[in-house]
Structure formats: structure tokens, C-alpha cells
Chains A and B, each alone.
Chain A
Amino acid sequence: MTVRALIAEDEPLLLEGLRAELRTAWPELDVVAAVHDGDSALQQALQQRPAVCFLDIRMPGASGLEVAQALAEDWPAGEPFPLLVFISAYDQYALQAFEAQAVDYLVKPVQSERLAACVQRLRARLAERASSSGPLPQTLEQLRALLATPTGTAPTGRLDVIQAGSGNTVHMVPVDDVVYFEAADKYVRVVTADKEHLIRMSLRDLLPQLDAQRFWQVHRGTVVRARSIVSALRHESGKVTLTLRERPERLTASRLYAHLFKGM
């Protein structure tokens, strides 16, 4: 039985090398997508629905971890979630986190024996999965723990006022006034009760500067002030719809963050 796989690795030689080694170590593996950046990895994975994803951590576009996060959020309910293997040359913290979460990972240069062991583990898990339901809950748990562990960047102090430029004016928006932040490509939308601003900064860079007690990440692209949430409605798919105090629109919390909303 063939197993469909995706490889995301930005260095062309390493990608070809891994593909060649996998051919010997796991002949039934069919690499249906081989991509060089994080954004293509997400897109291809959602399209091809592979059973196994090999994700390099440091890639242009989204990082391997961000791809995993996005996959967990956007993967269609009911479909078996792919097994994830992270690859890294040297990301001390990430590797420690993988170790702690028993997520499969490979260290570059990948040694043949280590790859063989990884393949064996993946095979065992696939066999296990065939007899039981999908491993999504377990994977979600692991990903939550991984995303909660700092992976390299040190926290850079709390932000108090957001300086949002528009034309020649810079608007000073107190962080306390913000109802939610929403990622929009390379920008972040800063939404207050009656206004919204765009700042030229990624949500990834903004997040460490926010007080995690008051601002909750509820989706890879959304961070909400907890006090602004009126109610959370849980759906069958695992997603949660949030109603806000100051704004009419509703926000969606992904199943990766749905555990934040449970009765006391």
C-alpha cells in the first residue's frame, strides 16, 4: 500500500537527498509534493492530503511550525490528519520541544540509521491509525504544547502604545484600547471599538510583546482581548465562534485554541 507524503525543504540538494534516501528506506512512500517554502507547503498539503509531512523548520515564507499550526486549523474535519516530521539543522529550543512532546523530528545532516528509525515509527503509527480513529486530538495536544514553548526569540518587553502610521500621521493607539489584532499578509489590522489601523509588522513579531494573560491568541491570525469576549459558541467541527462586546463582527477560534473556552 503506498503512502502519500509531502516534503518541504528550502535547500534543493537537501530536498533531493531526502527524497532519494526515503526511496530506499521506504519504497512504498510516494512523494506527491516537494516544495521549497512554507506557503507552498501549506497549500500543497491541503490540496494533496498526504499521510506524512516532512517539514523543515527554517524556510522562507511560513516556518515548519507555522505550517503545522495552519494545517491543524484548516485541515478538513473527518479527514485523517497527516503525521508530522520536523527537520532542522540547529534550533536548540525547537529540538528540545520536539523531544519533550515526542514529535518526530530529524536533525540535519540526516543519518541513514536515524531516518530508518523514523520511518519505522511512522509505519507503526500508520498501522495503529488504520485500526483506530484519527490521531488529531493527540496531534493538537502536541502542537499546543510546541506553540506554547518559546522557540528561540526572547520576549522583547511589553508594548504599551501602538504607533500606526497612515500617510503623514502616526496614530497612537493604547494597547488597552485594542479589541483584537488580525493578521493581514505582512500587516496586522489593529481593531479598537470604533476604529481600525494597519501596522507594518507581522503578528508573529507582535505576539511576544503582548500580555498573554489579557490578549489571547484564538487563531493563527487572530489575537483577542479576553475581556472583550462576551460568549463562545462551540461547533461540532471543533471550531468556536466568539461574540464581542465592542464590535458587531464575530471571530472564529480554531480547534487548536478551542480548549481555551470551557466552563469553569
Chain B
Amino acid sequence: MIPASTAAGAPLSPLHRVLLWLWHELRVGVPIALVASTFVSVMFQDPWVRTLIYSLCIGLSIQLLIEAGRYGLSAWMLQRGTATEALHNHWPGWAWMLPWCIGAALIGYFGGSLLADWLTGGQRTQSPFGTNLRALSLILMFSLGFTLAAVWFFYSRSRMLTLQTMTEAAERSAAESQLMLLQSQLEPHMLFNTLANLRVLIGTDPARAQAMLDRLIAFLRATLAASRSGSHALSDEFERIADYLALMAVRMGPRLSVQVDLPAALRTLPVPPLLLQPLVENSIRHALEPKVQGGRIDLSATCEADTLVLRVRDTGIGVANVPPSNGTKFGLRQVRERLATLYGSRASLSLEPAPGDEGGTLATVRLPLQQSAP
């Protein structure tokens, strides 16, 4: 179908687009003229062909005027700086369009009549279109009604199309970001390297292999569940991060050391699951892994007034030295989006060079401490 091809946004040639637009317009204008001419020819016993010419002239003139106004007004408003979704859909709003429609109906009626007079050879004296005042007002009302109905039709159709496209786009992007989240957490490089380490340990140190496998299982379970559940205790959050870091510690050996500081009073505070995971992962992947001598990750939680402050600090190559890759950006964006959805402007994530002379990066998450009471 033709509307489907426009909704899919396939690139069309300009000629094709003009023809498509013309088809959309005539599809409405011509049937209306047909109905109107039949109606008038029955009411006033006029020859049908002549009323059809009048109806077409009047109807299409009105339509032309309305569409010109619709496109013109919305373009003019966009140029003045008002930018709304409706304006991009060429809809300036009823406040503008209602008076414009009435004007268009009046002008279109008389202009179209004149055109039809000229086409049919100037028989206006015998025509009810020009002489009978009662018929004139009736037909005016009639055409105005049709005009408004047609405008309403165009308006709601384009709005529905937009809504449909928007819904589809939103669904697609939600699915995509869900997939990217999962993909970033189950990053294949991390997973296969971990499995490779496990494979070696099974041969050399079965007990350690078992411990590592347990960590991997806990990590996978948490990752696969995190996208669904609402919140868990801060101690659980630290535990899951500890699983991940334990896996990394096996992989990186003495190159990685970890320090965790979680005050007992904060252990039960609820936090979104695996919120810190992307930050820790960035620290590992982009700050410590590329550094030959490795380094340290500090994970801490503190309470400042009514704010819970979570810090992930590394002694890696530093935020200025990390080329911005899609991976880091996605991780940070994902944390920011989650914070914005859950807490609005009351939560924040900042990234800065870590203080002190050890270098590295400090990521700070601030959350409102609202649900602290048991």
C-alpha cells in the first residue's frame, strides 16, 4: 500500500513524492466533489455533469487553499522558532486552522464558482449557485461542513501515522538498548577470556576453578535478572560487583587489586541492580587493562546529608587518555538514563580525573536517600 511505503521512510524521488501527495489529496477531494454534485443535482434537479464541474472546481479550490494554509502556516511558525511535533506534521493547530478553513471555504466557493462559470460558458443566471440566496447559504454551509470534515480527516490521519511511527521507533530503541545492555554486560571478550582461564584452572587447580565458576554463575545470574527487577540492597550490589572483580582478578592476576568500603549502616539501602557495573567495567576495560603495570579499583559508599554517594575510582590510564569509544559512552549513558528514569534530577553521575597523585578516574553517583527508613 502507498501509505505503508511512506511510513517506512523509504527514500523516494521528488517526482514520486509529488505524485504521492497529489494522490493523497485527490483521494479525498474528488469523492467529496462526487458526493456533493450528486446531492445538489438531486436537490435542485440540475444536470449532474454541470454540478460535478461546479463541485470539483469549488471543492478543489477550497482544498488547495486549506492545504496551502496548512503547509504555509506551519512552515511560517517553524521559521519563527516554534517547534512542535504537530508543526513538523504541517499542522498549525485549530486556533489558526478554523478561521482559515472558513475563509478558505468562502473564497474557494466564490473563486471555484467563477472558474466553473467560465468553464461551462457563463450560465450563472440560471444556476442556483449564483441566484437563490437560500440555496446559496445551504450550499455554503454544506461545503463548509465538508471542508471541516476533510481537514479533520487529514489531520487525524497524519497524527495517527506519526503516533504509529513514534511508537514503533520507541519500541525498537527500547529493544535495542535492552540488547546492548545485555551485550555490554555479557561482553564476549570478557566471557571467553574468563572461560579460557577456567579451562586452565580445571587442569591445574580444581578447587580454585570451582570457586571461579561459582563467581561466574552468580555474575551471569545477576546480569540476566538485573534488567527486570526493581532494586536490591547496597550490600547485594557490592557483592555482585565483587563477583565480577573476582573474575577479573583471576584473569589479571597481580595486576589488579581491589579495595571496598561499605559502612555497615548503609548495607540495607536499596539501589537499582548492577547500577555500578558499567562504571567498574569501564575502569577495568579502558583504564586498567591497557595499563602495563595494572592498578587498583576503590569502591566506596558514603552518606552525605540526604544523599547516598557511591564512588568508583581507578588508578588507570586516566579519563583524558581514553579515546572515547562506543563502549565507554554506552556504559555511561546507560547509567545516566537509569538514574534519570528512576530519580529525575535528584540523582547524578559525574566523571573526573581522580584526586591525588596516583592518577586515574573517579566516577561518582549521587542518589537521593529517600527510602532509608525500614
Task: Give chain A's interface residues, CB within 8 Å of chain B.
Answer: 10-14, 16-17, 20, 36-37, 39, 58, 60-61, 89-91, 107-110, 153-154, 186, 200-202, 205
Cβ 8 A contact of B292, one of A12, A60, A89: A60
Cβ of A60 and Cβ of B192 under 8 Å apart? no
B139 lies within 8 A of chain A by Cβ: no
Distance of A37 Cα from B253 Cα, bound (Å): 14
Whether B320 and A200, one on each chain, are in contact in the complex, defined by CB atoms closer than 8 angstroms, is yes
User: By the criterion CB–CB under 8 Å, are B291 and A13 in contact?
Assistant: no
Is A58 a contact partner of B189 (Cβ separation < 8 A)?
yes
User: Which residues from chain A contact B201 at a C-beta distance below 8 Å?
Assistant: 13
- Cβ B196 vs Cβ A89 within 8 A: yes
Among the listed B191, B203, B290, which residue makes an inter-chain contact with A60, where contact means beta carbons less than 8 Å apart? B290
B199 engages A91 (CB within 8 Å): no
Q: What's the minimum C-beta distance from A58 to chain B, rounded to whole angstroms?
A: 7
Say yes or no: A109-B251 contact (C-beta < 8 A), given A16-B200, A186-B321: no
| Chain B 250-262 near chain A by CB (<8 Å), digits 1 or 0 | 1111110000000
A200–B251 Cα gap in the complex (Å)? 30
* Chain A residue contacts of B252, Cβ below 8 A: 10-11
State A13–B193 Cα separation when bound (angstroms).
10
Contacts A12-B253, A89-B193 given: A60-B200 contact, CB under 8 Å? no
A17-B200, A186-B321, A200-B320 known; A89 and B192 CB under 8 Å?
A: yes
User: Which of B196, B250, B294, B321 meets A108, CB within 8 Å?
Assistant: B196
How long is the Cα–Cα vector from A61 to B203 in the complex, in angstroms?
A: 30
Q: How far is the CB of A221 from chain B (nearest CB, A)?
A: 18
In Å, the complex CA distance between A186 and B290 comes to 13
Residues of B within 8 A of A154 (CB): 326
Residues of chain A within 8 A (CB-CB) of B253 are 11-13
Interface string of B289-324 (1 = CB under 8 A from A): 111101000000000000000000000000011010
Chain A residues near B294 (CB-CB < 8 A): 60
Chain B stretch 234-289: residues in CB contact (< 8 A) with chain A: 250-255, 289
> B189-221 vs A: 1/0 string, CB under 8 Å?
101110111111101100000000000000000
Are A89 and B189 closer than 8 Å at their CB atoms?
yes
Extra contacts, 16 of them, besides A20-B200, A108-B193, A110-B196 (Cβ < 8 A), are A10-B252, A11-B193, A11-B196, A11-B251, A13-B200, A13-B251, A14-B196, A17-B199, A36-B255, A60-B294, A61-B290, A61-B292, A109-B192, A154-B326, A201-B323, A202-B323
Cβ contact within 8 Å between B188 and A89: yes
| Nearest B residue to A91, CB-CB | B189
Tell me, yes or no, whether B325 is within 8 Å of chain A by CB.
yes
How far in angstroms is the closest Cβ of chain B from A43?
12
Cα A67 to Cα B199 with chains together (Å): 27
Contacts of B289 in A (CB 8 A): 10, 58, 60
B187 to A: closest C-beta gap in Å: 8
> Can you list 8 contacts pairing A with B, beta carbon distance less than 8 Å?
A13-B200, A13-B251, A16-B204, A17-B197, A61-B292, A90-B191, A108-B192, A108-B196
From known contacts A89-B188, A109-B199, infer whether A14 and B193 are also in contact, taking CB-CB under 8 Å. Answer: yes
Q: Which residues of A contact B290 (CB under 8 A)?
A: 60-61
Per the bound structure, the CA–CA distance linking A60 and B251 in Å amounts to: 13
Residues of A with C-beta under 8 A to B199? 17, 109
Q: Quick one: which of B192, B292, B325 contacts A37, CB cutoff 8 A?
A: B292
* Cα of A109 to Cα of B197 in the assembled complex, Å: 8
Instruction: Given A11-B251, A11-B252, A58-B189, verify A205-B197 contact (CB < 8 Å).
Output: no
**B200, A205: Cβ atoms under 8 Å?**
no
> Are A14 and B197 neighbours in the complex by a CB distance under 8 Å?
yes
Given A11-B252, A60-B289, A90:B192 Cβ within 8 A: yes
Q: Are B325 and A14 in contact (CB under 8 A)?
A: no
A interface footprint on B313-343 (CB within 8 Å = 1, 0 otherwise): 0000000110101100000000000000000
Return the 10 tightest CB-CB contacts between A and B, nearest first. A17-B200, A109-B196, A89-B192, A90-B188, A12-B253, A108-B196, A109-B199, A89-B193, A60-B292, A37-B292
* Closest A residue, CB atoms, query B252: A11
Q: Which residues of A contact B193 (CB under 8 A)?
A: 11, 14, 89, 108
Enumerate chain A residues within 8 angstroms of B251, measured Cβ to Cβ: 11, 13-14
The answer to whether residues A109 and B195 also contact, given A13-B201, A13-B251, A90-B189 and a CB cut-off of 8 A, is yes
A263 to B: closest C-beta gap in Å: 39
Asked if residues B200 and A14 are in contact (CB atoms below 8 Å), the reply is yes
**Alpha-carbon gap, A81 to B200, bound state (A):** 31
Q: Which residue of A lies closest to B201 (CB)?
A: A13
CB distance from A94 to the nearest CB of B (A): 11
